[in-house]
Structure 1
């Protein structure tokens, strides 16, 4: 049984990592998927591969820090499929720097991608969902939203803010058939941390003894995006291999 049959889903930051894995899994589960990101060649390739496997997907190039691109993404998705049932806000990057060394430029660049894009995408998608009387938003934040991680002050601030904002939006729209939840991944092996010299140390502190794969996180997102979690909204679900418990 395809859990997302007849659903249309936007997945931001889906040209690599968790976003790519989510887009592919959603397509396998029957969703019409809009892949969104800056890397046109990679995005088009993923869309072609999904279609070859019998799924339905298009790529829309978008810089998620730019208002015009965000509006184009939403408008083009509606033009292509007529509706938006699911939004997965996933675009982001990591910033790791001692607190005292953080600059205004760091603030502006990081907040634009990891906060404004989530905020604005929800603002633009929610009216469409409200008109159709249903919708589902999954915001991918981080374990850093609820845990203390030295050298991640700005990263933690933004992830915590999005996580709490999601709870507020969930409460505002709960009676309109719209659910809003967050996934808080722990350490995930992606392009962003493949060359990080701290990788061996990070693996040692994970009770399960290994990092998560993007595919594992995608399965958690699928749970939140599907009717399997139909009575969940305003929830922060953690997938961290047990780190939070130590």
Structure 2
């Protein structure tokens, strides 16, 4: 049996990822900071675990505020203690404010930085010794491919999310040949969630969270590390492995939602990609 930890799993996409993995044979650590429901935030780690257990799956609730390093460490430790090992970890936690620089106060920027790139980095650092020692393990960060249009109108948010993608691309070089891999995944269309429902987003422009969860499932089940370092789009990845009918993912069965992501993305590679940098290290330098 495979074992997974989903961070940011109390509602929305994270909830569906946890449920989908559990339905397909994973034991799942359901991690998030929400333990009590409210009118604005329905769903908790306990309600998701109950949903999974009601259908015969195995899951455990884990209280985890990703702004606290100790919580992330304890989430990983709890899974190891309960499951024996970890095979797959998904970082879905996120703080979102889509505003311009002038309209984003430092306090909000700090929150997004702590939850998005810093939380992901902390989790990765906690996992690496474990995964490298066992010679296997997959890490998935919910982060976008890097392209210029993404920054427009939401630069402060983009700085953190693109930072997560840089972590994926950069760490992949360090993981080559280890059996461990890291991948980024982002949706092609708007995904139905508590936020989109509260904002009154029309169902005709959204897909169900199942599409993203199905992509996560297939990435976790990949038999090799061929996706190491890649920044994928859910629909494009599913098409690449043979999925052709996306009708079941529509929120409005009569309408195919418009794609919000580009059809193709720029290469980040340069001509000097494989040239080594020769840097003379000065032990007296304070740089």
TM-score when normalising by structure 2: 0.75
Superposition map of 1:51-200 within 5 A: 51-142=53-144, 147-148=149-150, 150-186=152-188, 187-196=190-199, 199-200=201-202
SS of equivalent to 1:182: strand
1:25 maps to 2:20: yes
Give the match's secondary structure for 1:27. Answer: helix
Note if contact 2:7-2:31 (Cα within 8 Å) is conserved in structure 1. Answer: yes
Stretch moving more, 37-46 or 174-183: 37-46
Q: How many aligned residue pairs are there?
A: 233
Tell me the SS of whatever aligns to 2:194.
Answer: coil
1:143 CA displacement: 6.1
Q: Is the Cα contact below 8 Å between 1:144 and 1:159 reproduced in 2?
A: no
Separation of aligned partners in 2, 1:48 and 1:102: 38
> In 2, Cα distance between the equivalents of 1:180 and 1:148?
22
Residues 229 and 194 of structure 1: is their aligned pair in 2 closer, same or farther, counting only changes over 3 Å?
A: farther
Partner Cα distance (2:101, 2:195) in 1: 20
Q: Which has the higher contact order (CA 8 A, sep 6+)?
A: 1
Match of 1:3 in 2: none
TM-score, structure 1 normalization: 0.87
Gaps of 5+ in 2: 37-43, 236-257, 265-287
1:7 aligns to what? Answer: 2
**Within 5 A, what are the aligned runs for 1:199-214?**
199-200=201-202, 210-214=205-209
Give the equivalent residue in structure 1 for 2:267: none
> Aligned equivalents of 1:103 and 1:159: distance in 2?
18
**1:109 alignment partner, SS class:** helix
Structure 1 unmatched ranges of 5 or more: 1-5, 204-208
Q: Please tell me whether Structure 1 or Structure 2 has the larger radius of gyration of its CA atoms.
A: 2
Q: Which moved further from structure 2: 86-95 or 234-243?
A: 234-243
Structure having the larger proportion of residues in helix: 1
Q: Is contact 1:12-1:89 (8 Å) kept?
A: yes
Q: In structure 1, what is the Cα distance between the partners aligned to 2:208 and 2:227?
A: 24
Instruction: Tell me by how many angstroms 1:64 deviates.
Output: 1.0
Q: How far apart are the structure 2 equivalents of 1:141 and 1:22?
A: 15
